[in-house]
Structure 1
Amino acid sequence: METPAEPALAPERERRKDATRQVVVICAFCFMIVAALVGVGVFGGTPIQDVQDGALDADGSYLAPARPAFSIWSVIYLGLLGYTAWQVSPRQRSRERQRALGMLVAGTMVLNGLWLAAAQFASLPLTVLVIVLLLIALAVTFHVSMAFPGRGVADSVLIDGVTGLHLGWVTVATVANIAAWGAPATGEGGGSATGWGIATVVLIAAVGVVIAWWSRWRLAPGLAMGWGLVWIAVARLTGDPHDPGIGVAAIVAAVIVVMTPVVGKVGQQVIEVRNAEA
Protein backbone atom coordinates (compact mmCIF):
# COMPACT_ATOMS: atom_id res chain seq x y z
CA MET A 1 0.00 0.00 0.00
CA GLU A 2 1.37 3.40 -1.03
CA THR A 3 2.09 5.72 1.88
CA PRO A 4 1.34 9.46 1.70
CA ALA A 5 5.08 10.20 1.78
CA GLU A 6 5.85 8.32 -1.44
CA PRO A 7 4.17 10.74 -3.88
CA ALA A 8 5.99 13.61 -2.20
CA LEU A 9 9.32 11.94 -3.00
CA ALA A 10 8.74 12.19 -6.77
CA PRO A 11 9.37 15.96 -7.06
CA GLU A 12 12.49 15.56 -4.93
CA ARG A 13 13.80 12.83 -7.23
CA GLU A 14 13.13 15.04 -10.25
CA ARG A 15 15.00 17.93 -8.63
CA ARG A 16 17.98 15.68 -7.97
CA LYS A 17 17.96 14.40 -11.55
CA ASP A 18 17.78 17.96 -12.85
CA ALA A 19 20.66 19.06 -10.63
CA THR A 20 22.70 16.03 -11.72
CA ARG A 21 22.10 16.89 -15.37
CA GLN A 22 23.27 20.44 -14.83
CA VAL A 23 26.46 19.26 -13.13
CA VAL A 24 27.13 16.74 -15.90
CA VAL A 25 26.85 19.51 -18.52
CA ILE A 26 29.35 21.63 -16.57
CA CYS A 27 31.79 18.71 -16.25
CA ALA A 28 31.46 17.88 -19.95
CA PHE A 29 32.22 21.46 -20.91
CA CYS A 30 35.27 21.57 -18.63
CA PHE A 31 36.57 18.31 -20.13
CA MET A 32 36.13 19.67 -23.65
CA ILE A 33 37.93 22.92 -22.86
CA VAL A 34 40.88 21.14 -21.22
CA ALA A 35 41.15 18.88 -24.26
CA ALA A 36 40.97 21.93 -26.55
CA LEU A 37 43.77 23.65 -24.61
CA VAL A 38 45.91 20.55 -25.00
CA GLY A 39 44.99 20.52 -28.69
CA VAL A 40 46.35 24.03 -29.28
CA GLY A 41 49.62 23.22 -27.55
CA VAL A 42 48.92 24.33 -23.98
CA PHE A 43 49.85 21.88 -21.19
CA GLY A 44 52.53 20.36 -23.43
CA GLY A 45 50.20 19.15 -26.16
CA THR A 46 51.08 19.17 -29.86
CA PRO A 47 49.12 21.64 -32.00
CA ILE A 48 46.47 19.81 -34.02
CA GLN A 49 48.00 20.77 -37.36
CA ASP A 50 51.17 18.91 -36.35
CA VAL A 51 49.70 15.70 -34.93
CA GLN A 52 49.35 12.50 -36.96
CA ASP A 53 52.34 13.56 -39.10
CA GLY A 54 50.43 16.62 -40.30
CA ALA A 55 47.56 14.59 -41.79
CA LEU A 56 44.99 16.95 -40.26
CA ASP A 57 46.64 20.14 -41.52
CA ALA A 58 45.43 22.25 -44.46
CA ASP A 59 47.71 20.38 -46.86
CA GLY A 60 46.93 16.93 -45.47
CA SER A 61 44.26 16.06 -48.04
CA TYR A 62 42.38 17.47 -51.02
CA LEU A 63 39.37 18.20 -48.80
CA ALA A 64 41.17 19.89 -45.92
CA PRO A 65 40.07 23.49 -45.27
CA ALA A 66 42.61 26.27 -44.83
CA ARG A 67 43.70 26.95 -41.25
CA PRO A 68 41.51 30.06 -40.67
CA ALA A 69 38.45 27.81 -41.05
CA PHE A 70 39.10 26.35 -37.62
CA SER A 71 38.44 29.70 -35.95
CA ILE A 72 34.78 28.66 -36.02
CA TRP A 73 35.58 26.51 -33.00
CA SER A 74 35.95 29.71 -30.97
CA VAL A 75 32.35 30.63 -31.83
CA ILE A 76 31.09 27.12 -31.05
CA TYR A 77 32.98 26.94 -27.75
CA LEU A 78 31.74 30.41 -26.76
CA GLY A 79 28.19 29.31 -27.55
CA LEU A 80 28.60 26.12 -25.52
CA LEU A 81 29.98 28.18 -22.63
CA GLY A 82 26.89 30.37 -22.83
CA TYR A 83 24.64 27.30 -22.90
CA THR A 84 26.45 25.73 -19.94
CA ALA A 85 26.04 28.87 -17.83
CA TRP A 86 22.43 29.45 -18.93
CA GLN A 87 21.19 25.91 -18.27
CA VAL A 88 22.33 26.17 -14.63
CA SER A 89 19.84 28.93 -13.85
CA PRO A 90 16.90 27.89 -11.64
CA ARG A 91 14.38 28.81 -14.35
CA GLN A 92 15.97 26.34 -16.75
CA ARG A 93 16.40 23.48 -14.30
CA SER A 94 13.04 21.78 -14.73
CA ARG A 95 12.20 22.80 -18.30
CA GLU A 96 11.22 19.86 -20.50
CA ARG A 97 13.46 21.10 -23.29
CA GLN A 98 16.47 21.14 -20.98
CA ARG A 99 15.59 17.69 -19.68
CA ALA A 100 15.41 16.39 -23.25
CA LEU A 101 18.60 18.07 -24.47
CA GLY A 102 20.96 18.52 -21.54
CA MET A 103 22.56 15.08 -21.53
CA LEU A 104 22.70 15.03 -25.33
CA VAL A 105 24.58 18.33 -25.46
CA ALA A 106 26.89 17.04 -22.74
CA GLY A 107 27.54 13.93 -24.84
CA THR A 108 28.53 16.03 -27.87
CA MET A 109 30.97 18.00 -25.73
CA VAL A 110 32.54 14.82 -24.35
CA LEU A 111 32.93 13.39 -27.86
CA ASN A 112 34.40 16.70 -28.98
CA GLY A 113 37.04 16.40 -26.28
CA LEU A 114 37.62 12.71 -27.02
CA TRP A 115 38.36 13.53 -30.66
CA LEU A 116 41.04 15.95 -29.56
CA ALA A 117 42.47 13.30 -27.23
CA ALA A 118 42.42 10.72 -30.03
CA ALA A 119 44.21 13.12 -32.37
CA GLN A 120 46.88 13.75 -29.74
CA PHE A 121 47.48 10.30 -28.34
CA ALA A 122 45.88 7.66 -30.61
CA SER A 123 45.63 6.84 -34.30
CA LEU A 124 44.09 8.53 -37.34
CA PRO A 125 41.47 5.75 -37.80
CA LEU A 126 40.34 6.31 -34.21
CA THR A 127 39.84 10.02 -34.90
CA VAL A 128 37.57 9.03 -37.79
CA LEU A 129 35.53 6.75 -35.52
CA VAL A 130 35.15 9.44 -32.85
CA ILE A 131 34.18 12.21 -35.27
CA VAL A 132 31.58 9.95 -36.92
CA LEU A 133 30.11 9.26 -33.47
CA LEU A 134 30.16 13.01 -32.78
CA LEU A 135 28.33 13.67 -36.05
CA ILE A 136 25.66 11.10 -35.15
CA ALA A 137 25.29 12.57 -31.65
CA LEU A 138 24.90 16.07 -33.08
CA ALA A 139 22.30 14.89 -35.59
CA VAL A 140 20.30 13.30 -32.76
CA THR A 141 20.64 16.43 -30.61
CA PHE A 142 19.55 18.62 -33.51
CA HIS A 143 16.54 16.38 -34.13
CA VAL A 144 15.49 16.50 -30.47
CA SER A 145 15.86 20.30 -30.47
CA MET A 146 13.25 20.39 -33.25
CA ALA A 147 10.97 17.95 -31.40
CA PHE A 148 11.04 20.25 -28.33
CA PRO A 149 10.70 23.77 -29.82
CA GLY A 150 12.18 26.62 -27.85
CA ARG A 151 11.01 30.10 -27.04
CA GLY A 152 12.88 33.37 -26.95
CA VAL A 153 16.31 34.55 -28.03
CA ALA A 154 18.30 32.42 -25.59
CA ASP A 155 16.75 29.22 -26.90
CA SER A 156 17.31 30.28 -30.50
CA VAL A 157 20.94 31.22 -29.98
CA LEU A 158 22.26 28.89 -27.25
CA ILE A 159 20.49 25.70 -28.32
CA ASP A 160 19.27 25.98 -31.92
CA GLY A 161 22.07 28.21 -33.15
CA VAL A 162 24.98 26.56 -31.36
CA THR A 163 23.82 23.01 -32.10
CA GLY A 164 23.22 23.95 -35.74
CA LEU A 165 26.68 25.48 -36.12
CA HIS A 166 28.25 22.49 -34.40
CA LEU A 167 26.40 20.05 -36.67
CA GLY A 168 27.17 21.97 -39.86
CA TRP A 169 30.86 22.34 -39.12
CA VAL A 170 31.35 18.76 -37.97
CA THR A 171 29.65 17.55 -41.17
CA VAL A 172 32.44 19.21 -43.18
CA ALA A 173 35.12 18.24 -40.65
CA THR A 174 34.05 14.59 -40.81
CA VAL A 175 34.59 14.54 -44.57
CA ALA A 176 37.99 16.21 -44.17
CA ASN A 177 38.96 13.75 -41.42
CA ILE A 178 37.97 10.73 -43.52
CA ALA A 179 39.88 12.16 -46.49
CA ALA A 180 42.98 12.68 -44.34
CA TRP A 181 42.85 9.01 -43.38
CA GLY A 182 41.66 7.34 -46.58
CA ALA A 183 42.93 9.67 -49.30
CA PRO A 184 45.84 11.78 -48.05
CA ALA A 185 47.50 14.29 -50.33
CA THR A 186 50.52 12.75 -52.05
CA GLY A 187 51.58 15.73 -54.13
CA GLU A 188 50.70 13.89 -57.34
CA GLY A 189 47.00 14.81 -57.51
CA GLY A 190 45.72 14.06 -60.97
CA GLY A 191 42.29 13.57 -62.45
CA SER A 192 41.27 10.86 -60.02
CA ALA A 193 41.83 13.12 -57.01
CA THR A 194 39.90 15.92 -58.68
CA GLY A 195 37.06 13.60 -59.62
CA TRP A 196 36.46 12.08 -56.22
CA GLY A 197 37.06 15.45 -54.56
CA ILE A 198 34.37 17.16 -56.65
CA ALA A 199 32.00 14.22 -56.11
CA THR A 200 32.49 14.51 -52.35
CA VAL A 201 31.88 18.27 -52.41
CA VAL A 202 28.65 17.64 -54.34
CA LEU A 203 27.66 15.13 -51.63
CA ILE A 204 28.32 17.73 -48.93
CA ALA A 205 26.08 20.20 -50.79
CA ALA A 206 23.33 17.58 -51.06
CA VAL A 207 23.58 16.86 -47.32
CA GLY A 208 23.35 20.61 -46.64
CA VAL A 209 20.16 20.87 -48.70
CA VAL A 210 18.66 17.88 -46.87
CA ILE A 211 19.54 19.36 -43.46
CA ALA A 212 17.96 22.69 -44.46
CA TRP A 213 14.76 20.99 -45.56
CA TRP A 214 14.71 18.61 -42.57
CA SER A 215 15.18 21.47 -40.09
CA ARG A 216 12.45 23.60 -41.67
CA TRP A 217 15.04 26.04 -43.04
CA ARG A 218 17.19 26.72 -39.99
CA LEU A 219 20.12 28.88 -41.03
CA ALA A 220 22.94 27.85 -38.67
CA PRO A 221 23.90 24.46 -40.18
CA GLY A 222 24.13 25.92 -43.68
CA LEU A 223 26.22 28.86 -42.49
CA ALA A 224 28.74 26.55 -40.82
CA MET A 225 28.88 24.23 -43.82
CA GLY A 226 29.29 27.18 -46.16
CA TRP A 227 32.13 28.48 -43.99
CA GLY A 228 33.95 25.17 -44.18
CA LEU A 229 33.43 24.84 -47.94
CA VAL A 230 34.73 28.35 -48.61
CA TRP A 231 37.94 27.55 -46.77
CA ILE A 232 38.29 24.26 -48.65
CA ALA A 233 38.08 26.40 -51.79
CA VAL A 234 40.71 28.80 -50.47
CA ALA A 235 43.05 25.93 -49.61
CA ARG A 236 42.71 24.28 -53.03
CA LEU A 237 42.92 27.51 -55.05
CA THR A 238 45.82 29.14 -53.19
CA GLY A 239 47.64 26.38 -51.33
CA ASP A 240 48.88 22.82 -51.59
CA PRO A 241 47.66 20.44 -52.79
CA HIS A 242 46.51 22.78 -55.55
CA ASP A 243 43.29 21.74 -57.32
CA PRO A 244 41.18 24.43 -59.04
CA GLY A 245 38.45 21.92 -59.89
CA ILE A 246 37.77 21.08 -56.25
CA GLY A 247 38.16 24.75 -55.31
CA VAL A 248 35.51 25.98 -57.76
CA ALA A 249 33.16 23.12 -56.84
CA ALA A 250 33.53 24.04 -53.16
CA ILE A 251 32.58 27.68 -53.88
CA VAL A 252 29.45 26.59 -55.76
CA ALA A 253 28.56 24.16 -52.96
CA ALA A 254 29.04 26.90 -50.35
CA VAL A 255 26.56 29.15 -52.17
CA ILE A 256 24.05 26.30 -52.38
CA VAL A 257 24.18 25.31 -48.69
CA VAL A 258 23.95 28.93 -47.51
CA MET A 259 21.23 30.09 -49.90
CA THR A 260 18.98 27.03 -49.65
CA PRO A 261 17.73 27.74 -46.10
CA VAL A 262 17.50 31.46 -46.88
CA VAL A 263 15.30 30.85 -49.92
CA GLY A 264 13.33 28.20 -48.04
CA LYS A 265 12.73 30.55 -45.10
CA VAL A 266 11.56 33.38 -47.37
CA GLY A 267 9.28 31.02 -49.26
CA GLN A 268 7.84 29.70 -46.00
CA GLN A 269 7.06 33.22 -44.79
CA VAL A 270 5.43 34.15 -48.09
CA ILE A 271 3.17 31.10 -47.86
CA GLU A 272 2.27 31.95 -44.26
CA VAL A 273 1.35 35.53 -45.23
CA ARG A 274 -0.82 34.33 -48.11
CA ASN A 275 -2.57 31.82 -45.87
CA ALA A 276 -3.22 34.51 -43.28
CA GLU A 277 -4.75 36.80 -45.91
CA ALA A 278 -6.91 34.05 -47.43
Structure 2
Amino acid sequence: MTAMHGWRKTMNIAGLLLVLIVNTLAQVLPINGVTTGEISDRHHTYVTPAGYVFTIWSVIYLGLIGFVIYQARKDTGNRPAVERISYWFVVSCLLNSAWIFLWHYEKIGWSTLVMAALLLTLIAIYQRIRYGRESRAIGEYSFVQVPFSLYLGWICVASIVNVTVWLQDLGWNGWGIDSRMWAVILLTAAGVLAVAFSYGKKDVPFALVFVWAFIGIGVEQQADTWVRNAAWSLAAIVGAATLWLLAKVIRDRKRWDQSYISR
Protein backbone atom coordinates (compact mmCIF):
# COMPACT_ATOMS: atom_id res chain seq x y z
CA MET A 1 0.00 0.00 0.00
CA THR A 2 1.47 3.36 -1.02
CA ALA A 3 1.64 6.35 1.32
CA MET A 4 -0.95 8.11 -0.86
CA HIS A 5 -3.39 5.22 -0.51
CA GLY A 6 -2.86 5.14 3.25
CA TRP A 7 -3.45 8.88 3.53
CA ARG A 8 -6.63 8.66 1.46
CA LYS A 9 -8.01 5.89 3.64
CA THR A 10 -7.22 7.82 6.81
CA MET A 11 -8.89 10.95 5.43
CA ASN A 12 -12.02 8.99 4.54
CA ILE A 13 -12.26 7.63 8.08
CA ALA A 14 -11.69 11.09 9.55
CA GLY A 15 -14.29 12.59 7.22
CA LEU A 16 -16.96 10.12 8.29
CA LEU A 17 -16.09 10.63 11.98
CA LEU A 18 -16.58 14.37 11.47
CA VAL A 19 -20.02 13.78 9.94
CA LEU A 20 -21.09 11.44 12.73
CA ILE A 21 -19.88 13.82 15.45
CA VAL A 22 -21.53 16.89 13.90
CA ASN A 23 -24.82 15.08 13.32
CA THR A 24 -24.79 13.72 16.87
CA LEU A 25 -24.12 17.18 18.32
CA ALA A 26 -26.95 18.55 16.17
CA GLN A 27 -29.36 16.36 18.14
CA VAL A 28 -27.90 16.12 21.66
CA LEU A 29 -26.30 19.55 22.14
CA PRO A 30 -28.17 20.76 20.07
CA ILE A 31 -26.44 23.20 17.70
CA ASN A 32 -27.86 26.73 18.08
CA GLY A 33 -30.28 25.36 20.67
CA VAL A 34 -32.51 23.54 18.18
CA THR A 35 -32.55 20.09 16.63
CA THR A 36 -32.52 19.42 12.90
CA GLY A 37 -36.13 18.27 13.05
CA GLU A 38 -37.26 21.41 14.88
CA ILE A 39 -35.84 23.56 12.10
CA SER A 40 -37.68 21.40 9.58
CA ASP A 41 -40.92 21.93 11.52
CA ARG A 42 -40.40 25.70 11.41
CA HIS A 43 -40.16 25.56 7.63
CA HIS A 44 -42.87 23.03 6.90
CA THR A 45 -43.83 22.59 3.23
CA TYR A 46 -46.18 20.40 1.22
CA VAL A 47 -43.26 18.08 0.38
CA THR A 48 -41.99 17.71 3.94
CA PRO A 49 -42.14 14.03 4.97
CA ALA A 50 -43.10 12.66 8.39
CA GLY A 51 -40.37 12.82 11.01
CA TYR A 52 -39.77 9.07 11.07
CA VAL A 53 -38.66 9.18 7.42
CA PHE A 54 -35.42 10.85 8.48
CA THR A 55 -34.38 7.65 10.27
CA ILE A 56 -33.07 6.65 6.85
CA TRP A 57 -29.94 8.54 7.89
CA SER A 58 -29.20 5.70 10.33
CA VAL A 59 -29.23 3.22 7.45
CA ILE A 60 -27.09 5.51 5.27
CA TYR A 61 -24.52 6.07 8.01
CA LEU A 62 -24.33 2.36 8.78
CA GLY A 63 -23.65 1.80 5.09
CA LEU A 64 -20.96 4.49 5.05
CA ILE A 65 -19.32 2.95 8.12
CA GLY A 66 -19.23 -0.30 6.16
CA PHE A 67 -17.69 1.57 3.24
CA VAL A 68 -14.85 3.16 5.23
CA ILE A 69 -14.03 -0.22 6.78
CA TYR A 70 -14.11 -1.85 3.35
CA GLN A 71 -11.85 0.82 1.80
CA ALA A 72 -9.43 0.58 4.75
CA ARG A 73 -8.84 -3.16 4.36
CA LYS A 74 -5.70 -4.32 2.57
CA ASP A 75 -7.54 -6.87 0.43
CA THR A 76 -10.31 -4.56 -0.78
CA GLY A 77 -9.10 -0.99 -0.33
CA ASN A 78 -7.25 -0.83 -3.64
CA ARG A 79 -10.06 -2.04 -5.87
CA PRO A 80 -10.76 0.22 -8.87
CA ALA A 81 -14.19 1.38 -7.70
CA VAL A 82 -12.79 2.39 -4.31
CA GLU A 83 -9.76 4.14 -5.78
CA ARG A 84 -11.87 6.11 -8.25
CA ILE A 85 -13.84 7.63 -5.37
CA SER A 86 -10.53 9.10 -4.21
CA TYR A 87 -11.06 12.25 -2.11
CA TRP A 88 -14.60 12.88 -3.31
CA PHE A 89 -15.88 11.13 -0.21
CA VAL A 90 -14.00 13.55 2.05
CA VAL A 91 -15.53 16.45 0.11
CA SER A 92 -19.00 14.97 0.65
CA CYS A 93 -18.32 14.70 4.39
CA LEU A 94 -17.25 18.34 4.62
CA LEU A 95 -20.35 19.46 2.72
CA ASN A 96 -22.62 17.29 4.88
CA SER A 97 -21.19 18.82 8.05
CA ALA A 98 -21.34 22.37 6.68
CA TRP A 99 -25.00 21.88 5.77
CA ILE A 100 -25.86 20.96 9.36
CA PHE A 101 -24.45 24.23 10.71
CA LEU A 102 -26.10 26.33 7.99
CA TRP A 103 -29.45 24.63 8.53
CA HIS A 104 -29.32 25.01 12.31
CA TYR A 105 -28.53 28.70 12.01
CA GLU A 106 -31.33 28.98 9.41
CA LYS A 107 -29.12 30.17 6.59
CA ILE A 108 -31.60 28.60 4.19
CA GLY A 109 -30.18 30.02 0.97
CA TRP A 110 -26.63 28.95 1.79
CA SER A 111 -27.84 25.54 2.97
CA THR A 112 -29.53 25.08 -0.42
CA LEU A 113 -26.28 25.86 -2.25
CA VAL A 114 -24.33 23.44 -0.05
CA MET A 115 -27.00 20.78 -0.57
CA ALA A 116 -26.67 21.26 -4.34
CA ALA A 117 -22.88 20.90 -4.04
CA LEU A 118 -23.33 17.72 -1.99
CA LEU A 119 -25.70 16.35 -4.63
CA LEU A 120 -23.17 17.03 -7.40
CA THR A 121 -20.40 15.44 -5.32
CA LEU A 122 -22.45 12.28 -4.79
CA ILE A 123 -23.25 12.14 -8.51
CA ALA A 124 -19.49 12.28 -9.18
CA ILE A 125 -18.91 9.46 -6.68
CA TYR A 126 -21.74 7.41 -8.16
CA GLN A 127 -20.36 7.77 -11.69
CA ARG A 128 -16.94 6.65 -10.52
CA ILE A 129 -18.37 3.62 -8.76
CA ARG A 130 -20.41 2.58 -11.76
CA TYR A 131 -17.70 3.21 -14.37
CA GLY A 132 -16.65 -0.07 -15.95
CA ARG A 133 -18.35 -2.16 -13.25
CA GLU A 134 -15.39 -4.53 -13.25
CA SER A 135 -16.54 -6.43 -10.20
CA ARG A 136 -19.78 -8.18 -9.38
CA ALA A 137 -18.48 -9.23 -5.96
CA ILE A 138 -21.14 -9.16 -3.27
CA GLY A 139 -18.80 -7.30 -0.91
CA GLU A 140 -18.24 -4.43 -3.31
CA TYR A 141 -21.93 -4.21 -4.07
CA SER A 142 -22.91 -4.26 -0.38
CA PHE A 143 -20.27 -1.89 0.97
CA VAL A 144 -19.68 0.48 -1.95
CA GLN A 145 -22.62 0.47 -4.36
CA VAL A 146 -25.55 0.21 -1.94
CA PRO A 147 -24.44 2.88 0.57
CA PHE A 148 -23.89 5.48 -2.13
CA SER A 149 -27.09 4.53 -3.99
CA LEU A 150 -29.05 5.14 -0.79
CA TYR A 151 -27.10 8.33 -0.03
CA LEU A 152 -27.59 9.74 -3.52
CA GLY A 153 -31.28 8.82 -3.56
CA TRP A 154 -31.91 10.51 -0.24
CA ILE A 155 -29.98 13.66 -1.15
CA CYS A 156 -32.10 13.90 -4.32
CA VAL A 157 -35.19 13.90 -2.10
CA ALA A 158 -33.61 16.26 0.46
CA SER A 159 -32.61 18.67 -2.31
CA ILE A 160 -36.22 18.96 -3.45
CA VAL A 161 -37.33 19.71 0.11
CA ASN A 162 -34.45 22.16 0.67
CA VAL A 163 -35.21 24.11 -2.51
CA THR A 164 -38.91 24.21 -1.62
CA VAL A 165 -38.09 25.56 1.85
CA TRP A 166 -35.80 28.18 0.32
CA LEU A 167 -38.43 29.36 -2.18
CA GLN A 168 -41.02 29.50 0.57
CA ASP A 169 -38.58 31.47 2.73
CA LEU A 170 -38.11 33.94 -0.13
CA GLY A 171 -41.87 34.39 -0.40
CA TRP A 172 -41.98 33.12 -3.99
CA ASN A 173 -45.56 33.11 -5.29
CA GLY A 174 -45.08 30.15 -7.66
CA TRP A 175 -45.99 32.26 -10.71
CA GLY A 176 -49.55 32.24 -9.45
CA ILE A 177 -49.77 28.43 -9.28
CA ASP A 178 -51.11 27.01 -6.03
CA SER A 179 -48.36 25.64 -3.76
CA ARG A 180 -50.17 22.31 -3.49
CA MET A 181 -50.09 21.97 -7.26
CA TRP A 182 -46.37 22.72 -7.23
CA ALA A 183 -45.95 19.97 -4.64
CA VAL A 184 -47.75 17.49 -6.90
CA ILE A 185 -45.60 18.59 -9.87
CA LEU A 186 -42.38 18.18 -7.87
CA LEU A 187 -43.41 14.80 -6.52
CA THR A 188 -44.34 13.59 -9.99
CA ALA A 189 -40.99 14.78 -11.36
CA ALA A 190 -39.25 12.97 -8.50
CA GLY A 191 -41.17 9.79 -9.32
CA VAL A 192 -40.18 9.99 -12.98
CA LEU A 193 -36.55 10.54 -11.94
CA ALA A 194 -36.66 7.56 -9.58
CA VAL A 195 -38.00 5.17 -12.21
CA ALA A 196 -35.89 6.45 -15.12
CA PHE A 197 -32.64 6.55 -13.16
CA SER A 198 -33.10 3.23 -11.37
CA TYR A 199 -34.05 1.45 -14.60
CA GLY A 200 -31.18 3.02 -16.50
CA LYS A 201 -28.69 1.98 -13.82
CA LYS A 202 -30.55 -1.15 -12.65
CA ASP A 203 -30.36 0.34 -9.17
CA VAL A 204 -33.03 -0.99 -6.81
CA PRO A 205 -31.78 0.72 -3.59
CA PHE A 206 -31.95 4.14 -5.27
CA ALA A 207 -35.63 3.64 -6.14
CA LEU A 208 -36.51 2.29 -2.70
CA VAL A 209 -35.44 5.58 -1.14
CA PHE A 210 -38.12 7.38 -3.15
CA VAL A 211 -40.78 4.84 -2.17
CA TRP A 212 -39.85 5.42 1.48
CA ALA A 213 -39.99 9.20 1.02
CA PHE A 214 -43.32 9.18 -0.86
CA ILE A 215 -44.97 7.09 1.86
CA GLY A 216 -43.65 9.48 4.49
CA ILE A 217 -44.89 12.53 2.60
CA GLY A 218 -48.32 10.92 2.27
CA VAL A 219 -48.40 10.28 6.02
CA GLU A 220 -47.33 13.85 6.85
CA GLN A 221 -49.70 15.52 4.38
CA GLN A 222 -52.85 13.71 5.53
CA ALA A 223 -54.78 16.98 5.70
CA ASP A 224 -54.30 17.77 2.02
CA THR A 225 -56.05 15.41 -0.38
CA TRP A 226 -54.07 16.42 -3.47
CA VAL A 227 -50.62 15.98 -2.02
CA ARG A 228 -51.52 12.92 0.04
CA ASN A 229 -53.06 11.05 -2.89
CA ALA A 230 -50.22 12.05 -5.22
CA ALA A 231 -47.59 10.86 -2.73
CA TRP A 232 -49.27 7.54 -2.05
CA SER A 233 -50.01 6.93 -5.72
CA LEU A 234 -46.37 7.58 -6.59
CA ALA A 235 -45.25 5.29 -3.77
CA ALA A 236 -47.39 2.52 -5.27
CA ILE A 237 -46.25 3.16 -8.85
CA VAL A 238 -42.54 3.45 -8.04
CA GLY A 239 -42.83 0.51 -5.64
CA ALA A 240 -44.38 -1.71 -8.33
CA ALA A 241 -41.76 -0.61 -10.85
CA THR A 242 -39.03 -1.38 -8.31
CA LEU A 243 -40.35 -4.90 -7.74
CA TRP A 244 -40.36 -5.48 -11.49
CA LEU A 245 -36.81 -4.12 -11.71
CA LEU A 246 -35.67 -6.35 -8.85
CA ALA A 247 -37.08 -9.41 -10.62
CA LYS A 248 -35.29 -8.35 -13.81
CA VAL A 249 -31.97 -7.80 -12.01
CA ILE A 250 -32.20 -11.24 -10.36
CA ARG A 251 -33.07 -12.86 -13.69
CA ASP A 252 -30.20 -11.12 -15.48
CA ARG A 253 -27.79 -12.09 -12.71
CA LYS A 254 -28.76 -15.75 -13.01
CA ARG A 255 -28.22 -15.60 -16.76
CA TRP A 256 -24.80 -14.00 -16.26
CA ASP A 257 -23.82 -16.65 -13.70
CA GLN A 258 -24.93 -19.47 -16.00
CA SER A 259 -23.04 -17.91 -18.91
CA TYR A 260 -19.91 -17.56 -16.77
CA ILE A 261 -20.10 -21.17 -15.52
CA SER A 262 -20.55 -22.55 -19.05
CA ARG A 263 -17.36 -20.90 -20.35
Specify if TM > 0.5.
yes
Shift of 1:269: 5.7
Q: Which residues of structure 2 form unaligned runs of 5+?
A: none
Asked if structure 2 preserves the Cα contact closer than 8 Å seen for 1:212 and 1:219, the reply is yes
Percentage identity across aligned positions? Answer: 20
Residue 38 of structure 2 is aligned with which of 50, 62, 70?
A: 50
Query: Aligned AA for 2:10?
Result: V
In the other structure, the counterpart of 1:155 is 140
Shift of 1:173: 1.0
Shift of 1:110: 2.2
Query: Aligned AA for 1:164?
Result: S
Residue 225 of structure 2 is aligned with which of 244, 248, 251?
A: 244
In the other structure, the counterpart of 2:240 is 259
Alignment of 1:1-278 (within 5 A): 15-42=2-29, 45=32, 46-51=34-39, 56-57=40-41, 60-121=44-105, 123-149=107-133, 150-183=135-168, 192-215=178-201, 217-237=202-222, 242-267=223-248
CA deviation map 1:234-269 (0-9, x unaligned): 0001xxxx3121111111212233332432343466
Query: Aligned AA for 1:266?
Result: A
What is the root-mean-square deviation of aligned Cα atoms in Å?
Answer: 2.7
SS at match of 1:90: coil
In structure 2, relative to structure 1, the CA distance for the partners of 1:98 and 1:191 (3 Å cut) is: closer
Query: Aligned AA for 1:29?
Result: L
TM-score (norm 2): 0.86
In structure 2, relative to structure 1, the CA distance for the partners of 1:59 and 1:110 (3 Å cut) is: closer
Query: Aligned AA for 2:218?
Result: A
TM-score (norm 1): 0.81
* Aligned counterparts of 1:142 and 1:196: Cα–Cα separation in 2: 29
* Aligned counterparts of 1:142 and 1:85: Cα–Cα separation in 2: 18
SS at match of 1:183: helix
In structure 2, relative to structure 1, the CA distance for the partners of 1:211 and 1:116 (3 Å cut) is: same
* Aligned counterparts of 1:120 and 1:174: Cα–Cα separation in 2: 16
SS at match of 2:76: helix
Q: Which residues of structure 1 form unaligned runs of 5+?
A: 1-13
Asked if structure 2 preserves the Cα contact closer than 8 Å seen for 1:21 and 1:102, the reply is yes
Asked if structure 1 preserves the Cα contact closer than 8 Å seen for 2:67 and 2:144, the reply is yes
Asked if structure 2 preserves the Cα contact closer than 8 Å seen for 1:208 and 1:257, the reply is yes
SS at match of 2:87: helix
Larger Rg: 1
